Chain A
Amino acid sequence: MATETLSRERVLEIIEECGGDKEHLLSILIEIQRECRRNYINEASARVVAEKLDIPLVQLYDILTFYAMLETKPRGRYIIEVCNNAPCYISKSHVMAKFLRKELGINFGETTPDGMFSLQYMPCVGACNIGPVIKIGDKVYGNLNEERIRKILKELRENAQ
C-alpha cells in the first residue's frame, strides 16, 4: 500500500482514522510515515497535519525532529533497525551490526543506492530475551546469526519485486 507521496486527502483520512485530535498526533505521524514508501514525513504532509490540528508548523517540526521514530528525510523502503543497547551488546549485537554493514555495503544512517534498505540503530524494543535483535517495520527478529540475516534480506528483496 506504500506510495511515493501521500495525497492531501489521504493525510486527512489518516488524521480522522487515528482519532483526529492533537492527543493522537504521534500515531497520526507514525501512520503517515508508514504509508510513505520512503519512510519519512515530507513537508507537504506535515503542513496538512499542522493546519488540520492547529499546531504551528515550527512546533510540528520540533516534534518531528525530537522523536526518534519520526524522520523528515527520505529513507529506504525497508528500515533495518539494530538494537545497540547494552543487553543486546552483551549478546554480540555489534558483530551483527558489522555483518549487516558488510552485507548491505552501507554504514549506519545510510540507504542503499537502490533505495531498498536503510540501516540505523534503535533503542531497546523489550526483546532482550531473544537478543541480539533487529526490527524491520513492526517485526522483531531475534536470536540472529549470519545465516538468518542473509535469509531475511533475501526474503525482503523478493517481496519487493
Chain B
Amino acid sequence: MAKTIQLLTARCGKIRPDSVADYIAHDGFSALKKAMNMDPMQIINEVIDAKLLGRGGASYPAGKKWKQLYEIEGDPKYIVCNADEGEPGTFKDMVLLEKDPLSIIEGMAIAGYVFNSHDGYIYIRGEYREIQKLFQAAIDNAVKANYLGDNIMGSNFSFHVHIVSGAGAYICGENSGLLNSIEAKTGRPRVKPPHLAEVGLYSKPTLVNNVESFASVPQIVNMGGKAFQELGVEDSGGTKLICLSGNVKRRGTFEIPIGGVTLRDIIFDPEFGGGIPDGKELKCYHLGGQSGPIGFPEQLDTRYDHTSLKKVGLSIGSGAVVVLDDTICMIDYLKKVSEFFIHESCGKCVPCREGNRQMYMILHKFATGLATEKDFERLERLSFTMSTASSCGLGQSACTALDSCLLHRREEFEAHINGICPVCLNSRKYGDQYAY
C-alpha cells in the first residue's frame, strides 16, 4: 500500500499553476464558496477540530491561534502568510508556491472572511524571485475571476493579497521579524508579549501562518475538521510535506499522513528515501531544519507524528529530514550548524549573538583535539543560557542539535579529546577537511 498521500499536493503538476480555470476544474475555490455561507465561528471550530498544528516549525495549534485573534477587538485585522522559507533542508513551501499558489490564496481569503479582514500579505523570500512573479500572476487572475479583490463573488466581502519580498534574512522567518520587514524596517524580532494577535502588523491584530497551514485550510473547510484530523493522529491532524535531502538515494518532497509512517520508512523505504547510497551506513538525521534535533539509528522506529517524536526528544519542525552517512564527523557537522547561526543571528540579544560564536569556538577546540573534559561543562552551560535567555526562537533553538548529540553521542566528543575520531582522521587523509 502506498505510504504517501496526495492532499495538498493533489493538484501539483496537473494544473497550470496560475490558471483559475484549471484550479476550479480541480475543485478549487469550492471551499471559499462554502466558507462564505458559514458562520466565522463555525469555521474556526472546524480548524480547531482539525487539530492542525502550525506547519512553519513551531507546531502551534492553528485553531487556537485563530480563536485568540477572533476574540480580540480591533479593526483592521491583517492576514499574513509566512513564505520566507529559509530553514536549510526545507523546500516544501516552494512546491506549493510554485505548483498550486491558488490554494494558498484561497486559504488566506477564507481567513480574511473569518476575521473580516481586507488585506492579506504574503512575505516571499527574495531568493524566490521567479515564484514571486508567478504568484503575482495567480493573484491577478484570481482578481479577474472575482475570487479575490473587491466584492468577492458578488458579496460585500473584499479581500486583497499583496506580495512583499524578503532580501535574504533567515530571521525574517520569525513572525515578528517578518512583520517588521513588511513595515520597511530591519527584520529584527520584537519583544513579546504583546503577542502578534494583539499588536501585529502596523500595531493591529494580525494572523501569521505558514504557507502549508494556509493551504490546509480549504481542505479543512471542504472535508470538515473531523475528517481532516482523522487523516493524522489524535492530537495532530492532516498531512505533512516532508523534505528529504542529504545522503539518501531519492531526495525530494513527499506528502505523508501524519503518524502514517516511521522514520525508518522515510529514510529506507523505496517509496521515500530508498536508503543510503554507495553502500554507506546511516549515521544520523537532522529533523526540522538547523534548529531541530538530531536523531540516531536507535530512534528509527518512532512514528512520524508530533507526539511520538516528542517522546524520544525529536520534533517535526518544518518537515526537513537531512540524512547523514557515516563518513561525516559529528563535530564537523555541528560546526556547520553553528556557522549558520552565527551568520543568521540578528545581533539584537547577547545570548544568541555571542553564544553562537562561543559555541563555534568550543566545537572548533574539539575538532582540533584541543578540548578537555571541562569543555563539556562549558557547552552544557552555554546551551542552557542560550535556550533560556535568548530573545527569540532563533537563539533559543540554536543549541537543539548540539544537545541531542551531547545526549546520545557523547563518546564522539570524547574521541576528539583523545584525538582518535575515526571519521575525521579518515577524511583528513583525503584532504576534505578545512576546505574553507
Question: A: which residues have CB within 8 A of B?
Answer: 22-27, 29-30, 53, 55, 59, 62-63, 66-70, 84-87, 89-92, 94-95, 97-98, 108, 122-131, 135, 138
Q: Are B322 and A125 in contact (CB under 8 A)?
A: no
Q: Are A26 and B165 in contact (CB under 8 A)?
A: yes
- Taking A26-B164, A67-B169 as given, write out 7 further A-B residue pairs in contact, using a Cβ cutoff of 8 Å, ordered by the A residue number: A69-B168, A86-B333, A90-B245, A90-B246, A97-B435, A124-B89, A127-B91
Check B86 for interface membership: any CB of A closer than 8 A.
Answer: yes
- In the complex, 26 of the A-B residue pairs with CB atoms within 8 angstroms, ordered by the A residue number, are A22-B183, A23-B162, A23-B182, A26-B164, A26-B165, A26-B166, A27-B132, A59-B185, A63-B184, A69-B167, A70-B168, A87-B245, A87-B246, A90-B322, A90-B325, A90-B333, A91-B247, A94-B435, A126-B94, A127-B91, A128-B91, A128-B251, A128-B322, A129-B243, A129-B253, A138-B130
Q: Are B91 and A86 in contact (CB under 8 A)?
A: no
Check B198 for interface membership: any CB of A closer than 8 A.
Answer: no
The smallest C-beta distance from A133 to any residue of chain B, in angstroms, reads: 11
Q: Are A67 and B290 in contact (CB under 8 A)?
A: no
Partner of A95, one of B132, B337, B432: B432
Check B186 for interface membership: any CB of A closer than 8 A.
Answer: yes
Q: Which residues of A contact B85 (CB under 8 A)?
A: 126
The smallest C-beta distance from A68 to any residue of chain B, in angstroms, reads: 4
Instruction: Please tell me the number of chain B residues within 8 Å of chain A, measured between CB atoms.
Output: 59
Question: B: which residues have CB within 8 A of A?
Answer: 85-91, 93-94, 121, 126-130, 132, 162, 164-170, 181-188, 243-247, 251-253, 286, 290, 320, 322-325, 328, 333, 336-337, 339-340, 343-344, 346, 432, 435-436
User: Known: A23-B164, A66-B187, A69-B168. Is A90-B251 also a contact (CB below 8 A)?
Assistant: no
Q: Which residues of A contact B432 (CB under 8 A)?
A: 92, 94-95
**Residue of B129, B252, B340, B435 with most partner-chain A CB within 10 A:** B435
Residue in chain B with minimal CB distance to A88: B88
User: Known: A84-B339, A87-B246, A129-B253. Is A24-B165 also a contact (CB below 8 A)?
Assistant: yes
User: Known: A69-B126, A90-B322. Is A128-B165 also a contact (CB below 8 A)?
Assistant: no
User: Known: A69-B127, A94-B435, A95-B432. Is A123-B322 also a contact (CB below 8 A)?
Assistant: no
Q: Are B89 and A128 in contact (CB under 8 A)?
A: yes
Q: Are B182 and A86 in contact (CB under 8 A)?
A: no
Closest 8 A-B residue pairs measured CB to CB?
A: A128-B245, A69-B168, A126-B91, A68-B168, A94-B435, A67-B167, A85-B88, A124-B88
Q: Are A138 and B246 in contact (CB under 8 A)?
A: no
Residue in chain B with minimal CB distance to A98: B435
**Residue of A23, A70, A98, A122 with most partner-chain B CB within 10 A:** A23
Residue in chain B with minimal CB distance to A126: B91
Q: Which residues of A contact B290 (CB under 8 A)?
A: 85-86
**What's the Cα separation between A125 and B170 when bound, in Å?**
11
Q: Which residues of A contact B185 (CB under 8 A)?
A: 59, 63
**What's the Cα separation between A68 and B125 when bound, in Å?**
12
**What's the Cα separation between A69 and B126 when bound, in Å?**
8
Q: Are A86 and B436 in contact (CB under 8 A)?
A: no
The smallest C-beta distance from B116 to any residue of chain A, in angstroms, reads: 22
Q: Are B88 and A123 in contact (CB under 8 A)?
A: yes
Partner of B86, one of A25, A26, A124: A124
Residue in chain B with minimal CB distance to A63: B186
